[in-house]
């Protein structure tokens, strides 16, 4: 085990959420069971085996470790990774990787996939990712991971197995797809990024930013910088149907004690115990 950058962990049902996020410092997350991660503000050595990544936006504290990640995988003879990122940023990121490749005199093989709000990405038979718009100061996206399975349509539920088989052989579609939003990642965004995507509020696990928590930091000003204030969370408390809400990306202006203090004061029940402070 090589210890390099901090990693916190929480488990929810069959999912392990690992990562770290502090505004202006570094943000990175991964969910090993889903075989995917979000953002490259840092890249713990232990994250290298995860082959699929989604970049929320290209601020340095969310991107700086990308060349290191790609280079490590090449060095360890792993398959080139697939990295989804906001479409307008792909060309520049390609150039950055090319320059790094020259400096390093080593190849940086990876697939960069231009991604836009409204896209649907098929990860496997079981999982699909949908992409939504978020509101930040550079091109930015939010992501929702859905689990899908096929379920017998209600009109066929009373039938015997052989009757269903005959219908299927006759060309009738007897099942329909059921999707469950398992995990949503907001990235950096003002509240518009949540409000514009209902699935953010419905996902079992929501990972969201909450950069500012002190009353002296006014939310109107914070929205201009594409961030969220604790007041925004309080205003929307009834909308969060998530089983677990992870709040993260706190400003470095706050000591962890202050973060706990302000949040516990504003939300004494911690969203009925569903709120998890990632600090």
Q: Between 50 and 248, whose beta carbon lies closer to Zn ion?
A: 248
Nearest to 90 by CA among 70, 104, 110: 110
Per CB under 5 A, 18 contacts Zn ion: no
Per CB under 5 A, 219 contacts Zn ion: no
Per CB under 5 A, 227 contacts Zn ion: no
- Residue 148: both structure tokens together: 């899908």
We find the least distance from the C-beta atom of residue 65 to Zn ion, in angstroms, to be 14
We find the least distance from the C-beta atom of residue 23 to Zn ion, in angstroms, to be 5
Q: Between 73 and 249, whose beta carbon lies closer to Zn ion?
A: 249
Q: Between 56 and 130, whose beta carbon lies closer to Zn ion?
A: 56
Q: Between 174 and 279, whose beta carbon lies closer to Zn ion?
A: 279
Taking CA 213 as the corner, what is the angle to CA 210 and CA 219, rounded to the nearest 5 degrees? Answer: 85
Report the sign of the C-alpha dihedral through residues 31, 245, 180, 56, in that order: negative
Taking contact as CB under 5 A, which single stretch among the options 155-163, 186-194, 228-236, 237-245 is the one that binds Zn ion? 186-194
Cα 10 off chain centre by: 15
Q: How far apart are CA 136 and CA 27, in angstroms?
A: 15
Q: Binding string to Zn ion for residues 56 to 95, with x set by CB under 5 A, is what?
A: ---x-x----------------------------------
Per CB under 5 A, 188 contacts Zn ion: yes
The secondary structure of residue 46, as a DSSP letter, is: G
Q: Binding string to Zn ion for residues 44 to 63, with x set by CB under 5 A, is what?
A: ---------------x-x--
Q: Between 81 and 226, whose beta carbon lies closer to Zn ion?
A: 226
# chain residues binding Zn ion, by CB under 5 A: 3
Unique residue bearing structure tokens 């901090």? 6
Cβ atoms < 10 Å from Cβ of 184: 26
Q: How far apart are CA 223 and CA 82, in angstroms?
A: 32
Cα 132 off chain centre by: 11
Residues that bind Zn ion (CB under 5 A): 59, 61, 188
């Amino acid at each position: 085990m090589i210890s390099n950058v901090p990693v916190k962990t929480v488990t929810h049902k069959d999912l392990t959420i690992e990562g770290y996020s502090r505004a202006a410092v570094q943000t990175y997350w991964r969910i090993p069971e889903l075989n995917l991660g979000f953002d490259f503000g840092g890249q713990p050595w232990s994250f290298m085996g995860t082959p699929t990544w989604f970049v929320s936006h290209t601020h340095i504290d969310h991107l700086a470790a990308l060349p290191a990640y790609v280079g490590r995988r090449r060095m360890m003879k792993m398959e080139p990774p697939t990295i989804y990122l906001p479409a307008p940023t792909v060309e520049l990121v390609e150039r950055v990787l090319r320059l790094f490749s020259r400096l390093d005199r080593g190849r940086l093989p990876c697939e960069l996939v231009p991604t836009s709000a409204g896209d649907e990405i098929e990860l496997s038979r079981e999982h699909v990712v949908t992409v939504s718009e978020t509101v930040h100061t550079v091109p930015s996206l939010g992501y929702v991971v859905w689990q899908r399975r096929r379920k017998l349509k209600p009109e066929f539920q009373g039938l015997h197995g052989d009757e269903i088989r005959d219908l299927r052989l006759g060309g009738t579609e007897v099942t329909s797809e059921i999707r469950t939003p398992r995990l949503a990642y907001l990235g950096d965004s003002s509240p518009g990024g949540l409000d514009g995507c209902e699935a953010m509020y419905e996902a079992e696990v929501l990972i969201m930013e909450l950069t500012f928590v002190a009353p002296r930091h006014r939310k109107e000003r914070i929205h201009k910088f594409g961030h969220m204030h604790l007041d925004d969370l309080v205003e929307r408390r009834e909308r969060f149907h998530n089983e677990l809400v992870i709040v993260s990306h706190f400003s470095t202006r706050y000591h962890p004690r202050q973060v706990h203090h302000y949040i516990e004061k504003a939300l004494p029940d911690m969203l009925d115990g569903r709120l998890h402070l990632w600090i």
